[in-house]
Amino acid sequence: MHRRRRWVALVILPLLLAGCRTEIPGAAGARPTAEDQSHTPAGPSGTATGATATTPRRSPVPRPDHIVVVVFENEDQVKVMGGPAAPYLNELAASGANLTQSYGVTYPSQPNYLALFSGSTQGVKNNDCPRNFPNADNLGHQLLEAGRSFVGYAESLPSVGFRGCESGRYERKHNPWVNFGNLPASVNQPFSAFPTDFASLPTVAFVTPNMCNDMHDCSVATGDRWLRDNLGGYTEWAKTHNSLLIVTFDEDSGDPPNHIPTVIVGEQIRPGDYDEPTTHYTILRTIEDAYGLPALGQAANVKPLLTIWTS
């Protein structure tokens, strides 16, 4: 009789314990709790993608409503910043982020523009024209594919979609977006089309002044006045409308280390001098992170700008 009771206890007791067991979320064989399920990434069909999946990364870069990128030519950081020839650019540096360790990626001009726009020099080592990249990805294409907008505004461009190498003081070598076959001709606009209603700007706009106003053929003072007269209104507007102005240069005057001025102004910028290592790839990566876009080419190997933001 005692042996029979002992046998029953040995059989029933584990069953009772199994019924009362508390499950540990995530343990092997345990059912996920509601909280576990809410943090489990879902695949395209809505089903969990498995333990190796990760939730989408939240970028520390804020998302502006508009970004305007202006590229000037061939000046050393020490000549422009703190110098008397560029009072407006120095005013912007005082009210925005002055990136004191900003560098071009190569020489001469054309591969720097391609690096800034596509994360790669595309193998280009000179200013020869034309260059054509039918399928290479680029920032403009990324933005359009993501349902956002891009326009490049080139001063002295003779007509919308013009693909010639030069016209007057316009040079295609400073106009990277025209080289990519996956962008419509409509994104290639003369600077005269730059909106006066800044709220109607595309998500991202690139602006290239002509060969005089970009400081290539004319003085630093000429380019500085052009920036003030043509984009001063947008700059003030950006400070109160969640938008950014990025002013940079393609390269320095031609001698390593290719140290260039770069200044960013806008509502979410904390004014100051910043020594974050910066190249054209850094600027591209920062823009891509702002809009949740994959980092292209060499931009994937650098960090976005992290310390310049107010939040």
Distance CA 283, CA 211 (A): 23
Over the stretch 260-277, which tens digit does the pLDDT of each residue have? 999 999 999 999 999 999
Distance CA 6, CA 119 (A): 75
Distance CA 310, CA 283 (A): 18
Over the stretch 50-83, which tens digit does the pLDDT of each residue have? 223 333 446 799 999 999 999 999 999 999 999 9
Q: What percent of the chain has pLDDT over 70?
A: 81
Output 211 or 20, whichever has higher pLDDT.
211
CA-atom Rg of the chain in angstroms: 27
SS3 256: coil
CATH number, span 79-301: 3.40.720.10
pLDDT at residue 37, rounded to an integer: 28
Taking each helix axis from N to C end, the angle separating 280-290 and 109-118, rounded to the nearest 10 degrees, works out to: 20
Q: Give the predicted TM-score (pTM) of the model.
A: 0.82
pLDDT at residue 58, rounded to an integer: 60
Is pLDDT of 33 > 50?
Answer: no
Over the stretch 114-159, which tens digit does the pLDDT of each residue have? 999 999 999 999 999 999 999 999 999 999 999 999 999 999 999 9
Q: What is the DSSP letter of 95?
A: H
pLDDT at residue 35, rounded to an integer: 28
Q: Where are the domains of the chain?
A: 79-301
Over the stretch 104-114, which tens digit does the pLDDT of each residue have? 999 999 999 99
Strand partners of residue 66: 243
